[in-house]
């Protein structure tokens, strides 16, 4: 939610999905979430490498400084790709809960409340679970016929 110049909160509508729309998007979501995971793992590894080089005991020599700068540059590039991929999901109103774990959230409405289908990249049934917006992040409720039969409408 963004604030306008007078400090009042502006409401943002998000697209909510039906279960069928979410299932139809599984191949695309799989591709994007897999890319998000790969960029996340790459960025974390390069950040760790840069920190390790920076924390190396003693005065760094030229090769150490070059290696550290290169690791930092590559980490920034991986972070940029990670952000671009996350933006691709956000354009669909799909949000990553755990980029490294391959978990994303797809919005829908359940009992007039915002809820999320939990997309799991590594599950044979990527939409096996759901949760309410107000639930803790690790909450997983099994998707039943009730969630599968919902129709989407914009949520304000």
Tens-digit pLDDT profile for residues 8-67: 556 778 899 999 999 999 999 999 999 999 999 999 999 999 888 888 888 888 998 898
- List, as one string, the DSSP characters of 80-127: HHHHHHHHHHHTTT-EEEETTTTEEEEEEEETTEEEEEEEETTSSSTT
Residue 59 lies in a domain: yes
Residue 103 lies in a domain: yes
Residue 38 lies in a domain: yes
Residue 116 confidence (pLDDT): 96
Give the chain's length: 156
Number of domains in the chain: 1
Longest dimension (CA), the chain: 64
Residue 156 lies in a domain: no
CA dihedral (140, 105, 13, 2) positive or negative: positive
- State the Cα–Cα distance between residues 135 and 101, nearest whole angstrom: 19
Residue 1 lies in a domain: no
CA atoms within 13 A on the CB side of 45: 9
Q: Using 50, 70 and 90 to split pLDDT, how confident is the model at 133?
A: very high
Residue 24 lies in a domain: yes
Residue 2 lies in a domain: no
Residue 7 lies in a domain: no
Does the global pTM surpass 0.85?
Answer: no
Name the residue range of residue 77's domain: 19-148
């Amino acid at each position: 939610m963004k604030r306008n110049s007078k400090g009042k909160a502006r409401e943002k509508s998000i697209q909510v999905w039906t279960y069928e729309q979410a299932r139809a998007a599984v191949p695309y979501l799989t591709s994007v979430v897999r890319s998000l995971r790969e960029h996340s793992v790459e960025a974390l590894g390069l950040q760790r490498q840069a920190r390790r080089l920076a924390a190396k005991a003693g005065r760094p020599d030229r090769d150490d400084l070059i290696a550290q700068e290169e690791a930092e540059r590559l980490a920034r590039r991986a972070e940029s790709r990670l952000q671009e991929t996350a933006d691709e999901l956000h354009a669909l109103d799909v949000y990553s809960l755990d980029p490294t774990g391959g978990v994303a959230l797809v919005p829908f409405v359940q009992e007039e409340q915002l809820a999320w289908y939990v997309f799991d990249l590594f599950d044979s049934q990527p939409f096996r679970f759901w949760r309410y917006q107000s639930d803790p992040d690790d909450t997983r409720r099994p998707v039943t016929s009730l969630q599968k039969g919902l129709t989407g409408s914009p949520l304000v």
